[in-house]
Structure 1
Amino acid sequence: MKIQCPTELLLGLHVNAESLAEIVKLEAAIALFRKGKISSGMAAKWLDIPRATFLFKAMEQGAELLEDSADDFRRETMLL
């Protein structure tokens, strides 16, 4: 996937294109997890990091692990 961004954005963030891509990917994974669209395991697999690491990063941004709902249970136990 390619995302166009102005050079000024990279300069302002003090990152290169690859680093920005990783930031965007992490933010997207956390957003999809928070909305209940993907499980933490799926997000971790996409990011190629351990599930515990993903959960820690998501919780740092205010994500809740489980809301004790059937939807959360299904999402967290779905097959990868």
Structure 2
Amino acid sequence: MYQLTINIPEETALALKLTPEELSQEMKLISAIKLYELGRLSSGAAANLAGIPKVLFLTKLADYGVDTFQLTEAELAEELKRA
């Protein structure tokens, strides 16, 4: 497992009203959500990065304004034809 260290100003943590542990978890979740949103990680891989179950990850997406399913209109039409 890789371990990354990032420096975050104390003022940022104070402004967010988060403990260092909470901030660490929030940063992992936000990173995972953004990588999922960009299509760089699957929902399962993103949940793994965030350190939470996939079902919980999928429910957290709405909290950050990210669609759970990312289908284009054409892909959705194709899915509907197959249903």
Q: What TM-score do the two structures reach when normalised by structure 1?
A: 0.74
Indicate the SS of the match to 1:57: helix
Of all paired residues, the percent bearing the same amino acid is 35
Query: Are 1:66 and 2:73 an aligned pair?
Result: no
1:57 counterpart (42, 60, 77): 60
DSSP-derived class of the 1:5 partner: coil
- Which residues of structure 2 form unaligned runs of 5+? 76-83
Aligned equivalents of 1:56 and 1:46: distance in 2? Answer: 15
> Is there any run of 5+ residues in structure 1 with no aligned partner, and where?
70-80
**Partners in 2 of 1:57 and 1:5 — Cα distance?**
24
Cα separation, 1, equivalents of 2:12 and 2:53: 30
Q: Which has the larger radius of gyration?
A: 2
> Does 1:5 find its partner at 2:8?
yes
What residue is the counterpart of 1:73 in the other structure? Answer: none
Shift of 1:24: 0.9
Q: Which one scores higher on RCO, CA 8 angstroms, separation ≥ 6?
A: 1
SS in structure 2 at match of 1:15:
coil
Give TM-score, length-normalised by structure 2.
0.72
Whichever residue aligns with residue 45 of structure 1, its letter is: N
Structure 1 residues 17 and 56: CA distance shift in structure 2, 3 A: same
